[in-house]
Structure 1
Amino acid sequence: MPRRHRRGTTDTILHGGFNMKKMVCLAAAICLTAGIVSACGGKPSADGGTNAGKSGSAKNTTLTHLTWRVPDTGKGFEKVVGKYEADHPGVKIDVKNVASDQYSNTLKTRLLGGDPPDIMTLGPGTDYTEAARQGYLLDLTNDPMLANIQPSALEAAKVDGKVYGIPYDLVSLVVLYNKKIFKDNGLSVPTNYDEMIRLCETLKAKGIVPVAYGIKDNYVTQFLPYMIAPMAVYAKNSNWDRDLAAGKAKFNSPEWKRVFGVPFEFQQKGFLTPNALGVGDQQSVEMFARGEAAMTFTGTWATSVAKAANPDLQVGMFPFPGNRQGEDNWMNLSLGQILSVSAKSKSLEASKAYVQAWTATEYAQLWTDEAKTMPSVKGVKLAADPAVDELAPYLSKLKSWQFANVGWPAGVSDVYMKKFQEAFAGRATLDDVLHAMDEAATKAAAAAK
C-alpha cells in the first residue's frame, strides 16, 4: 500500500498476490467485525488469544522492532509495548521508527548487512515477498498464533502458499471531511465525480479551500489516483496487472489518463492547497484538522492524527467518488501492516512470543482503540471512532480492490512519484508521467526474465 501509514512506498506494496476473492473476503471480515455481515470470519479462540501475551519470553532480553508506523497510530505502540513489557519483566522492546520514505532502503540495508531487526513491520508487497523468498523471515504457517487472525487476512498475506508474518490491520484510502463545514454550508457527501466537482466549486466560491493537499512527501501523490483506479481500471479488467507484465497493456492509455489526470484537474481548478509541493503529509492533515480546508485525501489511519491536532474536530470519511453518473463506485482496501520475525534473530523464541502477543485479543483491542485501524484479529471491535463507523456502510455495499501498485513491477511506483511531482511543478506532462511508468515496467519485466 502506499506507505505513511503505509503511508508508503517505495515498493512496499507491489506484487501482493491479492485477487478479487481475497479482497471481497477482507471487506466481509471488516463488516463482520462491525456487526454488518457474517461471512469470511470465524469465532475467536476460546481464550481470545490472551494467553499468547504471557508465554515464551526470556529474561533480560532486548528486542528491536523496526517500523514506520509510530507517528500515525496515536499511542498504539506505547500502549501495546508498555503492556507487553509490564507482562514480561526483563524483556525490553526497542521500537525504532524510520521515516516512511526511507523505510524500504533502511530495511534492505540492514537485511543485506547482516543486522536484521528482531521484528519488522512490512506491507503486503515486494519487500515482504522478497524478504520471505530470500529466507529473511520466519515461516509461521503452522504456528498456533495464527489461529486468532481472520482467515481472509491470512490468505492475503501468503507468499507461495506460506505465511511469514501476522497481517495486522486493514486500511483504506479515503476522503476525510469536516462535518461542521459541510453542515454550516448545507453540503452533502458526493456520490459521483460530477457531484464532487460541484462540491469543490461551491466551497471555493465561499472562500473555503476544498482540499488540504500536500505532496512534499512523495508517497502522498499515490493517495488520490489509487482511490480512483479500482473503479476506472480494475473493475473493467481484473487482469490488468498481468496484461502489463505480459506487454499487453500500458499506463499510457485512456483509463490511466483518467486516473492520474484527476489531481491535475483539481490543481487547475484551484481546489487544492496552494504550494502543495511545499506541504508535508502530516502538515496537510493538520491544516484540515484546524479548519483551513474542508477535506483532505488520506487514509483511515489519519483520523488519530487529525484528532490530535484538533480534539474538537467533527470528522467524517467517504470513498472518493471517481465514478461518473451511472457507474458503480469501488473503494480500495489493503492490509495495513504485517508483523514478521527475523529468521536470523538472535532471540528467536522471545521475538516469536512478542509477535504472538499482538495476536491476543486484548493486545489487538489496545492497538485498534489507539490506531483507529480496522482489525484483522478475531474478537476485536472497531475503535469507537464515528468517522470509521461512517465507512462501514460502504464496506458492505461497494466492491473493493487493493492499492493500485500492489500488482505493478518493482520500481514503477518510485518512478511515478518522482515524475508526478515534476509534472505538478510544471516540468513534465501527464503523458511524460505515464511514458516513464511504461518504461519502468518494461525494464522490470526484462530484468525478471
Structure 2
Amino acid sequence: MKTPTTSAVVAAATATALLLLAACSGGTKTGSDGGGSKTLTLASVDQGSVEDVVKAFEKANPGVKVRYTTSGADQYQQQVRTQLSSGTAPDVMSVWPGNGNPGATHVLAKPGYLRDLSDQAWAKKMPDAIQSVAQYEGKTYNAIFGQNGIGAVYNEQAMEKAGLTPPDTWTKLLAFCRDAKAKGTPAFALGNQDNWVTQLVLYALVATTVYGPDRDFDQKMQAGQATFADSSWKAALEQYVTMEKTGCFQKNPLGTNYEASQQLAATGKTLGIVQGNWVIALLKQKNPGGTFTLKALPATDNPSQTLIPAAAGAGYGVNAKAKNPELALKFVNFVMSPKGMNLFVKKQGGLPSLPDTGYRADPSLTELSQFITSNRTVPFMDQRWPSAKVQQTMLSGLQEIFSGQSTPDQLLKAMDADYKSGS
C-alpha cells in the first residue's frame, strides 16, 4: 500500500506502498554526461528520500552520475513491466516484496527480468521474515532496505488544538471521529483517488480482526480451508464502511489524491492520516515545524488484541539486462550498507531491515518499534497472495464501494475467485 501498495503497505508502503508502498508525483533528474560507464539509470517510487541517497552515492563515487525518475506507485507499476519486456527499463528499479502487485519480486523475477543478488554479502544477513519476501525460488532478487508499518499518523499540533487524544479501542475510534467532525476538523485524510491508498485502512483493521484470533489464516487460505468472504475480512471491510459513514474522513475521498491527502494532514485540515510510516517524511516536508506520530488503528475494544501491519518495504532490484550492471550492483550495495540504509530510513521515517546499523528510530515510530519487538505485527496481506490480480481486484473494488457501485460481499467474492485462479 507508500509509497507503496503495501504492500506492503506499507511500508510503504509501505510500504508500500506497500505498496506498498509510495510516492506522490513524478520527476526526472539527469546526469550531465548523458551516458557511458559512469552513468546509472534508476526508477524509484521513493520520492522525498531517494534524492539524498543518490547524492550520497554520487559523492562516494566521484565521476558517477545517476539519471533517475520518481513516480507514484500506480503509474510506476503500470510502466515497469512494459519497460522490462521491451528492453527499455533502467539499470535499477523499485521492486516490492513478495507477490502482491505488478512490480513485486515474484512477478518480475519469474520471467527472468531481475538479476540474482544472492551472492551479495547483505543477502545472507537478512532476517528470515524479510528474506522470505525478497526471494523467488530460493534466490534473492530484492535489496530491501527498510521495514514499514501501517497505522494512524497524527498531527500532534492539530490534536492539541482539537483537545483530542489518539483512541486505543474501536468504540473510542468512532467517538474520536464524531468529536473531530463536530469540531470541523475530520479525523483522517483519505486519498482514494489513487487506488493503492484504498487498501491501507482495510489492512490496518484486518491485522487485528483477522490475524488477532488466527495467525495461521494465510496458511489456511493457501490450503483452501478459508476464504475472504467467510472470514473476518468481511467484518473489517464493514468497519471500513462504518468509518466512512461516521465521518472519519474528509468529504469526497475519491476526489482526493495521495498528495492532497498529505497536505490536509500536514496542515491540520485533518487530525491525521491512515498511512504507512513513509508518509511522515512527506508530511514534514509540507510542514517542517509539525510533529507527527504513528499509532496503531484499533479494531476491537481490547487494546491488548491490537496488531499492526508491518513488513518489508519496497526495495531495489537490478535489471537482468542492465546496461551498466557493475554500477547497478554498486548502487544496491550502497543502499544496503549502514550508511545508505540509515539515510533512506531516516528520510522515510522507517526502520532498517538489517540489524547492527547503529540506527536510532525517530520518536514518531516508538509505538511501531514496540509492536515489532513484541511480535504484535503481521505482514502486509498482499505479500502472501498467489498473484497480483487479487490486490488489483481489491483496489478497484474498494473504489467502487466508496462510489456506491459495489458492496463488501461482492468484493470479497471477487477476491476469492482471483485467489483461487491464481493458486
TM-score range, shorter chain: 0.7 to 0.9
Larger radius of gyration: 1
Q: Structure 1 residues 321 and 360, CA, compared in 2 at 3 Å: closer, same or farther?
A: same
1:5 equivalent to 2:24? Answer no
In 2, Cα distance between the equivalents of 1:249 and 1:228?
Answer: 18
Q: How does 1:353-364 map to 2 (within 5 A)?
A: 353-364=330-341
Letter of the 2:3 partner, please give it: H
Aligned residue type for 2:65: K
Q: Does 1:65 align with 2:42?
A: yes
Tell me: CA distance 1:247–1:394, structure 2 relative to 1, closer, same or farther (3 Å): closer
Q: Which residue of 2 aligns with 1:249?
A: 226
Name which of structure 1's ranges 325-334 and 294-303 shifts more when overlaid on structure 2.
325-334
What residue in structure 2 maps to residue 224 of structure 1? 201
**1:402 equivalent in structure 2:** 379
Q: CA deviation at 1:336?
A: 1.0
Deviation at 1:191, TM superposition (A): 1.8
The aligned residue for residue 200 of structure 1 is 177
Partner SS, residue 333 of structure 1: strand
**Aligned to 1:363, what secondary structure does the other structure show?**
helix
Identify if the C-alpha distance between structure 1 residues 168 and 189 changes in structure 2 by more than 3 Å, giving closer, same or farther: same
CA 1:232–1:167: 2 relative to 1, 3 Å: same
Task: Confirm whether residue 124 of structure 1 aligns to residue 97 of structure 2.
Answer: yes
Cα deviation digits, residues 236-273 of structure 1 (max 9, x gap): 33333343344432221251111111221011112211
* Residue pair 2:186, 2:271 contacting (<8 A) in 1 also: yes
> Structure 1: which 5+ runs fail to align?
14-57
Q: Deviations over 1:133-168 (max 9, x none)?
A: 332222222322446655653354232222123211
Deviation of 1:386 (Å)? 2.8
Corresponding residue to 1:133 among 110, 114, 117: 110
Distance 2:63 2:302 in 1: 60
Does residue 82 (structure 1) correspond to residue 60 (structure 2)? The answer is: no
Contact 1:10 1:104 (C-alpha < 8 Å) held by counterparts:
no
**For the structure 1 residues 163 and 253, does the alpha-carbon distance in structure 2 shift closer, same or farther, using more than 3 Å as the test?**
same
Residue by residue over 1:175-214, the C-alpha shift from the partner in whole angstroms, topping out at 9 and shown as x without a partner, is 0112233334443322221121122222223332122122
CA distance in 2, matches of 1:299, 1:9: 10
Contact kept in structure 2, 1:286 and 1:305, CA below 8 Å: no
* 1:364 Cα offset (Å): 2.3
1:187 aligns with 2:160: no
69, 73, 80: which is aligned to 1:100? 73
Name which of 401, 413, 417 aligns with 1:439: 417
SS at match of 2:259: helix
Task: Give CA deviations for 1:24-48 in whole Å, capped at 9, x if unaligned.
Answer: xxxxxxxxxxxxxxxxxxxxxxxxx
Give how far 1:398 is off. 5.1
* Counterpart contact for 1:12–1:104, Cα < 8 Å: no
Residue equivalent to 2:64 = 91
Moved runs in structure 1, 4+ residues, more than 6 A? 9-13
Q: Quick check: 2:205–2:236 contact (8 Å CA) kept in 1?
A: yes
Separation (CA, whole Å) in 1 of partners of 2:150 and 2:392: 19
Correspondence for 2:237: 260
Match of 1:167, SS?
coil
Identity %: 26
The amino acid across from 1:421 in the alignment is Q
Counterpart secondary structure, 2:278: helix
Are residue 113 (structure 1) and residue 117 (structure 2) matched?
Answer: no
Q: Could you say which structure has the greater relative contact order, defined with CA pairs below 8 angstroms and 6 or more residues apart?
A: 1
- Given the superposition, is the C-alpha separation of residues 146 and 318 from structure 1 closer, same or farther in structure 2, using an over 3 Å criterion? same
User: Which of 366, 391, 395 is 1:413 aligned to?
Assistant: 391
Q: Can you list the C-alpha shifts for 1:93-129, whole angstroms capped at 9, x where unaligned? A: 1112233102223111122223332112111122311
CA distance in 2 between partners of 1:405 and 1:384 (Å): 26
Q: Which runs of 5+ in 2 are unaligned?
A: 12-34
The residue number in structure 1 matching 2:134 is 157
Tell me how far apart the structure 2 counterparts of residues 106 and 11 of structure 1 sit (CA, whole Å).
20
- Alignment size in residue pairs: 395
- Establish whether residue 376 from structure 1 lines up as the match of residue 374 from structure 2: no
Match for residue 271 of structure 1 among 227, 248, 261? 248
CA distance in 1, matches of 2:373, 2:162: 29
Report what 1:17 is aligned to: none
In structure 1, the residue matched to 2:306 is 329
Q: Does 1:342 align with 2:290?
A: no
Q: Which amino acid aligns with 1:444?
A: G
The answer to whether the 8 Å contact 2:57/2:334 transfers is yes
1:391 to 357, 364, 368: 368
